[in-house]
Amino acid sequence: MSKKILFITTALLILITFTSCNRKIGSGVVLWAPEESAIESGSLVNIFEESKIRHTFTVARPGSKEKMEMDTWRILFFEKEPRAREYSKGYSPYVNSFAYSVKQGLPIREAETSESDRVYKLREGQEIKVIGRAEEPVEIGRFTGYWYHVLTGDGVSGYVFDYYLTVFSLNDTGRVIENAKDTRDPLLDIFLNSTWRPSYYNDMITKNIIDLSSFKDSYALRIDREKKEITLRLHDKNITEYYTDITEFGSKRYDFEGTSFRVTLVSEKVASILYKHDGKDINEAFVRLDENVNEIVSAELARRNGLLQEFIDRGSVFKSENYGSVNIIDGTGRFIWNDIERLIDRKIISPQSEPLGKIEFNHFPDTLIKNIYSGVITFNFRNGSQTNFLYSYTRTGVSFIFVPQRYIKNLIVTTDQFFDPIQIYFEFDPSTPSTGSGTGESEIGDETGEDN
């Protein structure tokens, strides 16, 4: 009797096992079939069993008795077959769609938003399966693109913004790029194709105060794309470095690989440049000018020459009762100052100064006082001092106010309120003819003046 019961029990277990293996538990759509699989991606399958240990489904095509195991992450499970068939139709455009990352660490996110949690980081060149795409493109920062629903080869599903993703489909002829886009960076192109000036150029132009010693066409940041050369020339710097590539490492931030230069593009006209000089990190602002530097230099030289010519036209010789007389020798500004002893006594010039030199108009009155004076005149004495005066014309002459050096900042005379002001009155000598604008030789030579 016991043998009969054992036989029946065993038979029932075999029957139950056989029945459970053939009983359908749901339907599924194959998202990414294994290579050389008899069941292709996009196929609708019946699901008969799930192994929690091996993480697999036992599946077969509808109407087929041939079963196979497949990783659960490769199949999207549905309890009802109609829902599986509906999804299969929507998935059909993506059956042969794949993608790969063109950036190391490209994130896969939990949802279609850049604020969503990151669930995976792609390696550069890592291939993934595309299983869907958002209907409309979106803008993230200055980039426009689509969110793609993807599946990795180790079973992670999520969403990737496609700016750094190359999406392709496979057909009989090979790969066809599906998300071909303009990969140019217009802002970077503007930077690479432009000449960049120190930001103080803008300040000088805005204030109309041009210091020709630091405002030169040669002072600039320039990039030679063909040579992959970046050069920086300033009054105290001369740097040339060669880059191997340009990598964007943040929003509008670029690393010139192989050099010390990193660039942040604030706008089409402003850039922040980080670089090394003499072992120190330096961060400076540069600007792209609409104006031509050489034209501005020419205009400033014309302004200075115009001020000099105005003096000459009023009288190339002007005399003072206590401080001698000044004779402008020629149109370049060479002068002789007769009787300079009082200038030395009042410590306006040094005792080593010789009574000759060159006049310049390279200083500027502050905005608060510029309407009171005609300008600032500078006398460069040979072997001695550079002396500055605020000046204003009178009916028959000119008035000078001596400006101590401590009241001059960045070529600007900051005030006319001095503790012990020294004012000198000159009368133009009407009997002396204009010296004109010639540049003839004179006894004082040309070594006293500074370059314009």
CATH number of the domain that residue 259 is part of: 2.40.128
DSSP 3-state of 201 = helix
Asked whether residue 17 is assigned to any structural domain, the reply reads: no
Please tell me the predicted confidence (pLDDT) of residue 9.
52
Mean pLDDT of the 208-223 span? 96
Residues 83 and 100 in one domain: no
pLDDT at 247: 84
The separation between the first and the last C-alpha atoms of the chain, rounded to the nearest angstrom, is 124
Determine how β-strand 97-101 pairs with β-strand 147-151: unpaired
For residue 367, tell me if it sits in a domain: yes
Q: Which of 48, 75, 93 is the last residue of a domain?
A: 93
pLDDT of amino acid 177: 85
Q: What is the pLDDT of residue 251?
A: 75
Note the pLDDT of residue 21: 53
d(CA 34, CA 15): 32
**Which of residues 170 and 265 earns the better pLDDT score?**
265
Between residues 67 and 434, the one the model is more confident about = 67
State the maximum Cα–Cα separation within the chain, in Å, rounded to a whole number.
153
Rounded distance, CA 247 to CA 257, Å? 7
pLDDT of the residue at 308? 96
Q: How far apart are CA 340 and CA 271, in angstroms?
A: 51
Q: Provide the token pair at 106.
A: 């490209």
Domains of the chain: total: 4
pLDDT of amino acid 325: 96
Indicate whether 438 belongs to any domain: no
305 and 416 co-located in one domain: yes
Q: What is the dihedral of CA 273, 276, 280, 281, to 10 degrees?
A: 30
Compute the distance between CA of residue 222 and CA of residue 424 in angstroms, rounded to an integer: 49
Amino acid in the structure at residue 192: L
- Return the SS3 of 134: coil
pLDDT 10s digits, 339-382: 999 999 999 999 999 999 999 999 999 999 999 999 999 999 99
Of 93, 116, 144, the position where a domain reaches its end is 93
Average pLDDT over residues 216-224: 97
How confident is the prediction for the chain on average, in pLDDT? 89
Confidence of residue 203 (pLDDT cuts 50, 70, 90): very high
What tens digit of pLDDT does each residue of 58-100 get?
A: 999 988 889 999 999 999 999 999 999 999 999 999 999 999 9
pLDDT reading at 443 higher than 80: no
For the chain, give the percent of residues with pLDDT over 70: 89
Whether residues 303 and 420 share a domain: the answer is yes
Cα angle 375, 377, 383 (rounded to 5 degrees) comes to: 165
CA distances (Å), origin 437, targets 139, 306, 309, 334, 363: 63, 10, 7, 11, 21
In the prediction, which pLDDT does 451 show?
37
pLDDT band at 19 (very low <50, low <70, confident <90, very high): very low
Q: Is the dihedral of CA 169, 175, 180, 183 positive or negative?
A: positive
Does residue 452 have a pLDDT over 60? no
Q: Are the beta carbons of 318 and 326 closer than 8 angstroms?
A: yes
Provide the residue count of the chain.
452
146: domain CATH number is 2.30.30.40
Q: What is the pTM of this model?
A: 0.60
Query: What does the block give as tokens for 46?
Result: 């019946």
Do 128 and 252 share a structural domain? no
Going by C-beta distance under 8 Å and a sequence separation of 6 or more, which residues neighbour residue 389? 376, 377, 378, 379, 400, 401, 402, 403, 424
Shared-domain flag, residues 315 and 410 = yes
- Give me the pLDDT at residue 163, please: 84
In this structure, the answer to whether residues 402 and 422 fall within a common structural domain is: yes
Same domain, 272 and 302: no
Q: How far is C-alpha 92 from the chain's CA centre?
A: 44
Q: How confident is the model at residue 414 (pLDDT cuts 50, 70, 90)?
A: very high
Q: Which of 133, 153, 177 is the last residue of a domain?
A: 177
Residue 300 contacts residue 210 (beta carbons within 8 Å): yes
What is the per-residue pLDDT for 18? 46
Confidence at 13, pLDDT banded by 50, 70, 90: very low
pLDDT score recorded for residue 289? 95
Q: How far apart are CA 147 and CA 158, in angstroms?
A: 10
In a domain, 114, yes or no: yes
Token digits of residue 9: 């029990």
- List pLDDT tens digits, range 25-55: 999 999 999 988 889 999 999 999 999 999 9
For 61, the domain range is 23-93
Within a domain: 3: no
Tell me whether residue 7 is in a domain: no
Measured CA to CA, the distance from residue 120 to residue 81 in angstroms comes to 31
